[in-house]
Chain A
Amino acid sequence: MRQSADRKPLPEITDLTRPFWSAAREGKLVMQKCPSCGTIDFFPKPWCLECGKREREWVEVTTRGTVYSYTVTSLVMMNLPGWEKDLPVILCLVDLDDGGRMYAQLVGCPPEEVRIGMRVEAHFEQISDEAGIPKFRPL
């Protein structure tokens, strides 16, 4: 596993996943959209989860979404120790307005104010020369 200088995990980037990491590095959120049935899905898959077509298109999607669920993590478990200084971490499942659901962190929000159904918007943090990552703030 690759890790950053501050001991957080970095992705092993493949041709399949590169468009996501590169776009996030440029401040954009892209997801795979099936040209056949229109399904938008996250994370990247080798074919469409709904119809099984292997043709995949990457499309830019809106950075706005809704908190489907959240947890406030106060201990680093099953991850790298670099997260220690970020605790407590607010981890969400976010439903994006255009489709797809993703694990993502919510920042700029006191833990006691997070709510399911909260409207959020992504911004992007560079995590390596090749990759950025979306994090969300309350809208």
Chain B
Amino acid sequence: MRGKVAIVGYGRTPYSRVKPGEPVLTVDEYIAWAADLALQRAGMSKNDFDGQGLAVAHAEAAHTVNWSASVAETLGISPKVLLRADQGGASAAALLIRAAAVIDAGIVDRVLVVGADTPLTIPSVAPGLPLSPERSRGPYWDFQGPFGVMGATAQFALIQRRYQHEYELTDEQLAKIAVVTRYHASLNPGAIYRKPITVEDYLNSRVLSAPLRLFDCVPIVNGGLAYIVTSAKSARTITDRPAYLLGFGEVNNYYHGSRTRPDVTYTGFVKAAPEAFRMAGVEHKDIDLFQPYDDYPFIVVMQIEDCGFCKKGQGGRFVQERNLRFDGDFPLSTDGGQLSGGQPGGAIGGFAPLIEAVTQLRGEAGERQVKDVSITLSLGFGGIPYGRPGRSCAAIILGSEG
């Protein structure tokens, strides 16, 4: 599958924190807006996708049994193939893999991939708290809510605590990730929090669920993103700067060790990343830009390790020793990541690591442009299983040469 498809266009709407006076858009409006931006960049029309593919990432606000077909109706597109992913932060990466498969099989030539969510304006069962009816149904909730589990931050705090029990990872190392992503956000007009912060600001930020602090958490936003993937042959007729899919790997519901008592200090990237590297035929030293799924700084550390940039337990030191800035020796999250860029809910945030990689490969990153970038690694990481990190892990290697 190496080099068989490429991303030829992308779009990201401005994000909204729904401040008073700001227009409140629906998921459908954000999808159309993001798709419009992607189509304009590719010089294509929505009618180019009749008889082709439409892929939709499941949104928390999507209360329907046939969401992808409903999106096709809203957009007035008659696709041959509908793809839908409900893998949370891994959906955007998983949909690229699915799109590549149906294109490589010759079923369609191109797929429009869209995702949007409005987590700040969903109906909530607890006023003032982003707790949707969807999140509070079924055995998964029944064995968490009544036990007092306070959502992702408490769940990931348990993982970080265990990690820090087994390996060395200091607050200053975690702070470095938060500070560098904010610096990158200051260079990205589309990022939601752009005022630079210091290590001290991170250390002084309020502890929410120890050891996790406020500055460990992503700012939730409303927004939409989209990208267009085509066969490599078509890509070259659409743009002179395709971002080719060189390799991918994916694992869902990974257990490290026992299924009932796994080691939670590992993610499924220990399986997914080597697959991606093998397919792409590249090595770690070839990666010019790393776009982790940065919903928390310590997750970045675990992903650096599990993708094989260093050994397990040495991610903290790796972060400390390397220069993570766009002009450094290990650039990461050059868009500000989700930590400072914003996360359009757990369902859609995974578009950002992919779309920033494409932006960089096309040389369109402006002030934060990584010099001579030709190969990138982006991660999608979605869902929180009971007592473990990350239900779905997908690794994507893109390159400027097919």
Using a CB–CB cutoff of 8 Å, the interface residues on chain A facing chain B are: 1, 8-14, 16-17, 39-44, 49-50, 68-81, 83, 86, 89, 91-93, 95, 99-105, 111, 116, 127, 131, 133
Contacts and interface: CB of A to CB of B under 8 A. Distances in A.
Interface string B202-227: 00000111111000000000000000
Nearest to B166: A116
Given A11-B146, A12-B142, A71-B157, A78 B135 contact: yes
B158 interface: yes
A24 B399 CA distance: 56
Contact of A103 (B125, B151, B208, B387): B387
B65 interface: no
B264 interface: yes
B38 to A, nearest CB: 32
A95 B260 CA distance: 10
A91 B387 contact: no
A71 B139 contact: no
A68 B162 contact: yes
Contacts of B208: 73-75, 77
A80 B128 CA distance: 10
The 3 closest A-B pairs by CB, nearest first: A78-B151, A71-B157, A9-B145
Contacts of A81: 126, 128-129
Given A80-B125, A91-B148, 20 more contacts: A1-B125, A1-B136, A1-B145, A11-B145, A12-B138, A14-B139, A16-B139, A41-B259, A42-B143, A71-B161, A72-B209, A73-B148, A73-B150, A74-B207, A74-B210, A86-B148, A92-B158, A93-B387, A103-B143, A116-B162
| Residue of A9, A92, A133 contacting most chain B CB atoms (<10 Å) | A9
| Residue of A11, A14, A74, A79 contacting most chain B CB atoms (<10 Å) | A79
A8 B125 CA distance: 12
A74 B133 CA distance: 24
Interface string B233-257: 0000000000000000000000000
Contacts of B139: 14, 16-17, 43-44
Nearest to A43: B143
Contacts of B260: 39-42, 49-50, 99-101
A128 B49 CA distance: 54
B262 to A, nearest CB: 9
B386 interface: yes
Contact of B129 (A11, A40, A79): A79
B165 interface: yes
A101 B152 CA distance: 18
30 contacts: A1-B136, A9-B146, A10-B146, A11-B143, A11-B145, A39-B260, A41-B260, A43-B139, A50-B259, A69-B159, A70-B158, A71-B158, A74-B207, A74-B208, A77-B151, A77-B209, A78-B135, A78-B153, A79-B148, A79-B151, A81-B126, A91-B158, A91-B209, A99-B260, A100-B260, A101-B260, A103-B143, A103-B386, A105-B147, A127-B146
B102 interface: no
Nearest to B136: A1
A40 B157 CA distance: 25
B158 A101 contact: no
B211 A71 contact: yes
Interface of B: 125-126, 128-131, 133, 135-154, 157-159, 161-162, 165, 207-212, 259-261, 264, 386-387
A80 B145 contact: yes
B290 to A, nearest CB: 27
Contacts of A16: 139
A71 B145 contact: no
A93 B211 CA distance: 15
Contacts of A50: 259-260
A132 B135 CA distance: 22
Contacts of A111: 210
Contact of B158 (A8, A12, A69): A69
Contacts of B387: 93, 101-103
A91 B143 contact: no
Contacts of B157: 71, 73
B158 A78 contact: no
A83 B150 CA distance: 9
Contact of B126 (A14, A79, A104): A79
Contact of A80 (B126, B137, B153): B126
B253 to A, nearest CB: 10
Nearest to B260: A41
A23 to B, nearest CB: 14
| Residue of B138, B143, B386 contacting most chain A CB atoms (<10 Å) | B143
Nearest to A9: B145
Contact of B161 (A9, A69, A76): A69
A77 B153 contact: yes
Contacts of A78: 129-131, 135, 150-153
Given A40-B260, A49-B259, A71-B210, A83 B129 contact: no
